[in-house]
Amino acid sequence: MSSRTDRYEGHDYYGVDELLSEEHLLARDAVRAWVKSEVTPVIETYAERAECPAHLFKGLAEIGAFGPSLPAEYGGGGMDEIAYGIIMQELERGDSGIRSMASVQGSLVMYPIYRYASEEQKRKYLPKLASGELIGCFGLTEPDFGSNPAGMISTVRDDGDAYILNGSKMWITNSPVADLAVVWARDASGTILGMVVEKDWKGVSAPAIHGKWSLRASITGELIFEDVRVPKSHVFPTVRGLKGPLSCLSKARYGIAWGVIGAALDCYDTALRYSKERIQFDRPIAGFQLTQKKLAEMITEITKAQLLAWRLGVLANAGKASPAQISMAKRNNVHMALEVARESRQILGGMGITNEFPIMRHMMNLETVLTYEGTHDIHLLITGLDVTGLNAFGG
Ligand code: TGC
Ligand code: FAD
């Protein structure tokens, strides 16, 4: 007898596919096929070598993974927020680092340029970012200010038709391979400004950070600015203050809430198949109650996460997804995926720690995803503030 999950391709236990449009399903299937043919065969090797598969940037652009919900006029996909989410899910089924390549380019670089830059800057950068001709990165975190970006000490000094930028940014996805960076820094009055900085400008450097055991197929670096002359035309004219970068984070966190479901599905699928084939004590380990407890709890949590993501998508399409609702989904779904990875790893026993299966790589990746774009605890405090009205961050 085939199980219910076998009957639903992709382990869609509650029939969430029925809530999706033809366009969503087409986008999902196209990205799923691309990941299967371009990512899955090479990802273990890149992760093992701690090397970024930079050749995939072009392919990501071709499947429309950069800015799927940004207007087509500027090179975006012109689709809705659910399409964006489901594309992130399929990318992260391959690897969180591949999803990161798309999250940063689309949500943290193209989105702020689309939303806050001048028309001239939009026309200059967006089509080339959408096509993968230019790669971008996003500089918010600093060595001494991670969870609390309001404390940032990078500064700009007014110098006539330009600003002089000084400071450094830490943990910046793609910075060593990027052509440009969206950077956030304070002016003399303490106001936070956003700007586009090209990497080959005098005074900009982006050394890589080595030694990561997580997100190994994604390249991470610093951004160092020493008296960099930033023309005023490159400073976003329409946004001031921390809400600029935080609005970009909302967009990217939304994508992560969907994305990590893909990593969880890949782990669950691997564990389910393995448990039916692996014989111990003369029967498949899937027949033991303790294995079934793990599998049953995994598919329950995945299903809840799928429904949460879908509902968040509906709210986002209506322009009604609040930052706190996005935080709840990011926190819940990343934690869910990490727990699914850990339980799947146990089901595979010793084989679970090898690179013959994707589980350990997903698990290590998800440790980063739990921390970046706001840590697990910061998102809890955002929910706490939202429901009590009392700020528990500090101060
Ligand atoms: P707070 O006073 O709460 O807010 C300042 C202003 O911003 C507004 N706001 C938001 N707007 C849009 N979206 C959001 N998510 C927003 N959150 C807040 C807020 O309404 C206010 O507006 P206004 O008009 O009153 O000025 O600011 P706070 O300093 O108290 O900070 C709150 C806190 C702790 C939640 C925030 O600092 C935070 O989220 N910290 C976490 C930092 C973080 O997530 N960093 C991520 C760096 S980028 C990254 O990790 C990329 S990984 C890339 C990859 O995928 O590889
Ligand atoms: P900290 O802020 O020092 O936090 C350390 C611990 O203290 C955490 O557990 C945290 O939850 C806890 N903590 C902090 N404040 C509180 C509080 N008030 N109450 C309770 N607990 C608290 N940033 C970018 O700008 N751009 C990028 O592209 C980017 N990419 C990244 C890629 C990777 C691989 C990684 C690891 C990080 C990346 N980041 C990026 C940075 C990321 O957003 C930060 O690491 C994250 O926001 C946490 O900051 P931190 O590491 O400085 O930790």
Structural domain count of the chain:
3
Give the structural domain span for 313.
Answer: 243-388
Q: Is the residue at 393 inside a domain?
A: no
Q: Is the residue at 395 inside a domain?
A: no
Cα of 370 to ligand 2 centre, how many Å?
Answer: 9
Q: 94 pLDDT exceeds 90?
A: yes
| 20 lies in the same domain as 112 | yes
Q: Is the residue at 338 inside a domain?
A: yes
Q: Is the residue at 394 inside a domain?
A: no
Show the ligand 1 pocket: residues with CB < 6 angstroms. 100, 103-104, 138, 140-141, 147-150, 173, 241-243, 246-247, 249-250, 252, 323, 372-374, 378, 382, 393
* Full DSSP string of 147-214: S-GGG---EEEEETTEEEEEEEEEEEETGGG-SEEEEEEE-TTS-EEEEEEETTSTTEE-PBP---SS
Looking at residue 346, what is its pLDDT?
Answer: 98
CATH number at residue 251: 1.20.140.10
| 107 lies in the same domain as 218 | no
How does pLDDT run across 153-212, given as a tens digit for each residue?
Answer: 999 999 999 999 999 999 999 999 999 999 999 999 999 999 999 999 999 999 999 999
Cα of 150 to ligand 1 centre, how many Å?
Answer: 8
* Full DSSP string of 37-74: IIIHHHHHHHHHHT---TTHHHHHHHTT-SSTTS-GGG
CA distances from 60 to 122, 188, 260, 366, 392 (A): 20, 40, 18, 21, 40
| 250 lies in the same domain as 384 | yes
Query: Where a domain ends, among 130, 162, 195?
Result: 130
| 229 lies in the same domain as 248 | no
| 288 lies in the same domain as 217 | no
Mind telling me the catalytic residues? 373
Query: Where a domain ends, among 234, 253, 275?
Result: 234
Give this prediction's pTM: 0.97
Any idea what DSSP says for residue 373? T
What's the whole-number average pLDDT of the chain?
A: 96
Q: What percentage of the chain carries pLDDT values higher than 90?
A: 97
Among 1-15, 216-230, 252-266, which stretch is predicted with the lowest mean pLDDT? 1-15
Q: In Å, how far from its chain's centre is CA 209?
A: 19
Q: Is the residue at 65 inside a domain?
A: yes
| 125 lies in the same domain as 143 | no
Looking at residue 242, what is its pLDDT?
Answer: 98
CATH number at residue 60: 1.10.540.10
Q: Is the residue at 48 inside a domain?
A: yes
| 178 lies in the same domain as 254 | no
Distance CA 137, CA 105 (A): 7
| 100 lies in the same domain as 201 | no
Q: Is the residue at 73 inside a domain?
A: yes
CATH number at residue 155: 2.40.110.10
| 51 lies in the same domain as 68 | yes
| 156 lies in the same domain as 226 | yes
Looking at residue 2, what is its pLDDT?
Answer: 37
Q: 3 pLDDT exceeds 60?
A: no
Give the number of the atom of ligand 1 that is nearest the alpha carbon of residue 241: 26
Confidence band, pLDDT 50/70/90 cuts, at residue 395: low
Looking at residue 394, what is its pLDDT?
Answer: 81
| 185 lies in the same domain as 275 | no
**What is the average per-residue pLDDT within 253-263?**
98
| 221 lies in the same domain as 266 | no
**For residues 144 and 132, is the Cβ–Cβ distance under 8 A?**
no
